[in-house]
Amino acid sequence: MTISSGGVPSPKYQRLAADLRRRIAEGEWRDGNALPVETELEQQYGVARNTVRLAVDVLVNEGRLVRLQGKGTFLREHPVLDHRAFGPLLPSQRGDGLAAPSAVYHSEAEQAGRRLSAEFEMLIVRARVDVAERLGLQPGEAVVVRRQLRLLDREPYSIEESHYRAGVAAGTALMEPDPVPGGDEAVLAELGRVEVGAVDQLVARMPGPEEAQWFQGGPGVPLLVQTRVTYDRRGPVRVIETRYSADRCRLIYGLGRLDARVK
């Protein structure tokens, strides 16, 4: 073991993990270069391959390393795209700070030199209990879910699902299995339901198996989940749940008066 095993009586694989962290921080294996292969790490540290794998597992689950079968082990890349979830928009963008039509997403990405695309789905399902509660529905009542699967530079970025009470969507373009040009907000406005407020709830958690499969993030990449309930003067209008791959997204909220500096 070339690792200082002096005062710290911790297990080998943990010391090994700590040493790899140090070497990463010091800049070995910059950019896209691979780490030494497992057999070489065995020899460098004089441990069994199993121990090497345990150590690398730790860093993988911290989101620092990615293993690719047949290729090697690499530093995880973190190309982030900011998304302004609320607040003053750039002059070139429409909206009052609350609504974030698809166009806003795309212009954010464009200005960062990235490309955002989306697939659309519409489905009618029984409301999840938490959705039903927020919309004031009976448990098990039907809701229309309009889903956008967003890709950033071809890679999974977010899943956005708008939940509408069936009665609201009935007979409108919201029942069509296609995105509404101008955004769902336009349809709501025609119905006289202009969203003037919202409550956002933010949580982070690890993806479940289906989510992990879609997001392709692998272990160590949490999801950032934003659950927005929008309101007009009559009450709740819709629930918008957006799940972001946390290594690709930062959510921005502009709050209060920002006349001085908008950053």
Q: Which of 19, 38, 141, 153 binds DNA (CB under 7 A)?
A: 38
Task: HSE, CB side, 13 Å, CA atoms: give it for residue 132.
Answer: 11
Instruction: Tell me the closest approach of the beta carbon of residue 174 to a second copy, in angstroms.
Output: 21
Contact flag: residue 70 with DNA (CB under 7 A):
yes
User: For residue 196, which phi and psi values (nearest 5 degrees)?
Assistant: -115, -10
Spatial separation of the C-alpha atoms in residues 54 and 13, rounded to whole Å: 6
Contact flag: residue 235 with a second copy (CB under 8 A):
yes
One symbol per residue from 10 to 49: x for binding a second copy (CB under 8 A), - otherwise; what is it? --------x--x----------------------------
Instruction: Tell me the closest approach of the beta carbon of residue 69 to DNA, in angstroms.
Output: 4
Contact flag: residue 206 with a second copy (CB under 8 A):
yes
CA angle (169, 175, 179) in 5-degree steps: 110
Contact flag: residue 175 with a second copy (CB under 8 A):
no
Q: What is the DSSP letter of 232?
A: -
Instruction: Tell me the closest approach of the beta carbon of residue 89 to a second copy, in angstroms.
Output: 13
Helix ranges (H only) for 35-139 are 38-45, 49-61, 102-111, 129-135
One symbol per residue from 110 to 139: x for binding a second copy (CB under 8 A), - otherwise; what is it? ------------------------x-----
Contact flag: residue 256 with a second copy (CB under 8 A):
yes
Distances (CA, A) of 156 to 45, 82, 115, 119, 234: 37, 15, 12, 11, 36
Contact flag: residue 261 with a second copy (CB under 8 A):
yes
Kindly give, in sequence order, each residue whose CB lies less than 8 Å from that of residue 85, ignoring residues fewer than 6 positions away: 100, 200, 226, 251, 252, 253
Q: Which of 2, 69, 92, 138 binds DNA (CB under 7 A)?
A: 69
Measured from the CB atom, the residue of 70 and 171 that comes closer to a second copy is 70
- Cβ count near 23 (within 10 Å): 13
Instruction: Tell me the closest approach of the beta carbon of residue 70 to DNA, in angstroms.
Output: 3
Spatial separation of the C-alpha atoms in residues 106 and 20, rounded to whole Å: 38
Q: Which of 4, 33, 39, 43 binds DNA (CB under 7 A)?
A: 39
Residues in the site for a second copy, rule: CB under 8 A?
Answer: 18, 21, 57, 61-63, 80, 82, 86-87, 96-98, 134, 195-209, 219-220, 222-224, 229, 231-236, 246-247, 249-261, 263
